Structure 1
Amino acid sequence: MSDLPEGLRPIVLGDDPAQEEARLAFYKAAAAPVADDAAGRILARDVMGLMGQHPPEAIRKRLVQLRMSAGSRARAAASPPPKGLVHHAEPGDVQEVRRIQPYAHYFAVEEYDIRYRRFDGTMSEVVNRGVFISGDAVTVLPYDPVRDRVLVVEQWRAGPWGRGDPQPWLLEPVAGRIDPGEPPEVTGRREAVEEAGLEIGDLHLASAFYPSPGAKAEFVYAYVGIADLGDDAAGVFGLDGEAEDIRGHLLPFERLMEMVTSGEVRSAPLLITAYWLARERGRLRGE
């Protein structure tokens, strides 16, 4: 709207201009904290798509989560497609017939009726799929190349509990969701302070991946972060406002790999990052 010629101003048209003005004001308030224009446009689409499915107050309460999801979708759209063996998607290869959001609270579930391009070139019949929406996440495994040790964190996790696992405490890297307008590297450094009280030096991207693409939209950026891990580096941390109770453990690198082999490490990001560190450890230590 700022690009209008001098002397002109935008107006809102429709059967009920006052209602449309109210909707526009609602969108502007929602989009204001989103730094990226692409994420703002996606947020607008998502918010307006929920109108009629959920009460406005319920949508308002989920604005932080909706901003996270919009940022995730903007990053996905801007990412260069992988080249190689996988099918190269073209416009029209996936046709969305219907989208609803039957559940929304801290996380959300979206349900789609879609057609997609089959490997024989034809379009599939309409299929129904559900996806767990949680925004993107960052993990950081702090590593001290001088002492050749890592810091892992332990906390209670709802996922194993929901599965019926009698051991719902897991060992993991530092982890957290990407806040609206925040680059993944900034998230990693912030979470290292919040969950482990650590200032991270260089960050090395070990991998970026979908942990469970059949059911989750989450995309994880997994880093190894260089840190000074003295004997007093481990402690109990976490934000009271997020009900976090997180205990740190200092481990020699070889002990970490023993735990990977024994099965004590059951978090996919920690497994992936540990294997990356096993490959790159000599380089990081200057050997």
Structure 2
Amino acid sequence: MPNLFLFGTLCHPPLLEIVFGRPVEARPATLTDHAVVTLPDRAVPATALRAVPGEQAPGVFLRDLPNEDLARLEYYLGGFDNGLREMTVSVEGTSRSAMVACRKATPEHGDGPFDPEAWARGWAVLACQAAREIMAQFGSTDLETMNQLRPFVTSRAWAQQLAQDGAPHELRSDRGLDTVEIVRERPGFEGFFRLRAFDLRHRRFDGTMSETISREGFIAYDAALVLPYDPATDRVLLIEQLRYGPVLRGDPFPLVLEPAAGLIDSGETPETCALREAEEEAGLKLRELRPMVKIYASPGYTTEFFHCFLGLCDLSEDDNGLAGLDEEHEDIRNHVISFDRAMELIDSGEINVGPLVMMLFWLARHREELRRNA
């Protein structure tokens, strides 16, 4: 059974325990003539080794790991990019042979030295949450499929981070998650979305605990929605596209009118996502974002959560036309219309997407002020 040298994020004990599915004995170690660097452009910051003469790469030494542990590590990392290489490391002053998962970074690929304390403050909780979902599928979902799902796993973990902001509770109860007990989890679908089956009980308003209830929940994402508005001309931009919900429901007209919207990537702020989606889906550069509301789409069965914004911009007839990203299979048509026309489409039922109705009503409440200050 081989020894193993791990570095960077894998030196974080809680993450290491999730990856191997058990506590492991890890001893401090160093690798000579190497440095640990952060890889850029990752949903969750990852680390790699860079050859640097005279440097000492810190890490941990694990002795006599069984093949099952190596398989779990490979699954978590998404494969050993450059294989496992036998190298000599220093363990408490003694030279030891160890296998190293050599994800290497050339000088142009690294993004500076890895700061474990900064990573632990900013990313450890997210990394552990994503690791739990990844490793829960070890043995049931193949590595290639998991690598395709990995960005969505980290986005779901990021949604749980965003959820920590909470919302006011002046009228509603201040009972917290400590009054809800997940008694048992049952197998559910794992993919772009998750279907989580579970049994739970919770504290009731009269102070007693409920009976155990079996439920299923749709684990989705946080999304940013933006309604472009030109207060000078009192016009909005709506996008039109095919949606699969109406198709599956059997709606004879499955194209819908919506605000621009997109899933919030791991580490991305809702505001950044809103600006990106306005440009990608509507071809607009917004001059200002105004927060509207933050809402659960349908809290009875899904975690999906919307961060809604008004996007102040200049709109003209030139903003009509086709848009969307081919790589995301988007086929979008833009409609620049007056605010009054949009409200007529709500009355007629042609606008039948809830978030857009809500956002237009929000605009109706604030429209006069926005127009006065245009």
Q: Per the alignment, in what secondary structure is the counterpart of residue 251 of structure 1?
A: strand
* Paired AA for residue 138 in structure 2: M
1:180-219 alignment to 2 at 5 Å? 180-219=266-305
Return the alpha-carbon distance in structure 1 between the equivalents of residues 186 and 278 of structure 2: 36
1:91-240 map, 5 Å: 91-240=177-326
| Structure 1 residues 268 and 19: alpha-carbon distance in aligned structure 2, compared to 1, 3 A threshold | same
- How far apart are residue 252 of structure 1 and its match? 0.6
Deviates more, 1:48-57 or 1:136-145: 48-57
When residues 114 and 50 of structure 1 are mapped into structure 2, their CA distance, relative to the original with a 3 A threshold, is farther
Provide the residue aligned with 1:255 in structure 2: 341
SS at match of 1:223: strand
SS of the residue 1:153 aligns to: strand
Q: Mark the runs of 5 or more structure 1 residues left unpaired by the alignment.
A: none
Once the 2 structures are TM-superposed, how far is the Cα of residue 243 of structure 1 from its aligned partner? 1.4
Q: Which amino acid aligns with 1:61?
A: Q
Question: Displacement of 1:102 after TM fit?
Answer: 2.2
Residues 65 and 134 in structure 1, CA contact (< 8 A), matched pair in contact too = no
SS in 1 for 2:211: coil
| Paired residues of 2:224 and 2:261 also in contact (CA < 8 A) | yes
Matched, 1:60 2:144: no
Higher gyration radius (CA): 2
Ranked by relative contact order (alpha carbons within 8 Å, sequence separation 6 or more), the top structure is 1
Residue of structure 2 in register with 1:284 after alignment: 370
Q: Which moved more, 1:46-55 or 1:113-122?
A: 46-55
CA–CA separation in structure 1 for the residues paired with 2:309 and 2:220:
20
> What letter is aligned with 2:293?
S
**RMSD value over aligned CA atoms?**
2.6
Change (3 A) 1:29 1:105: closer
Q: Deviations over 1:150-189 (max 9, x none)?
A: 0000111001111111111110000111112111111111
Decide whether aligned partners of structure 1 residues 39 and 221 sit closer, same or farther in structure 2, where only a CA change above 3 A counts: same
CA distance in 2, matches of 1:6, 1:54: 33
The equivalent position to 1:41 in structure 2, one of 123, 128, 137, is 128
CA distance in 2: counterparts of 1:276 and 1:198, whole angstroms = 21
Q: With structure 1 as the length reference, what TM-score do the two structures score?
A: 0.89
* Residues in 2 aligned to 1:197 and 1:230: alpha-carbon distance in whole angstroms: 12
Deviation at 1:27, TM superposition (A): 3.1
Task: Note the residue ranges of structure 2 that are not aligned, 5 or more in a row.
Answer: 1-10, 14-26, 31-57, 80-102, 104-118
Give the structure-2-normalised TM-score.
Answer: 0.69
Give the Cα separation in 2 of the matches to 1:123 and 1:72.
29
1:12–1:20 CA contact under 8 A, matched in 2: no
Share of identical aligned residues, percent?
A: 39
- Structure with the higher strand share, 1 or 2: 2
Residue-by-residue CA offset, 1:43-64 (whole Å, 9 max, x unaligned): 1122222334434443332111
Cα distance in structure 1, aligned partners of 2:230 and 2:307: 20
Contact 1:174 1:195 in 2 (8 A): yes
Matched pairs, number: 283
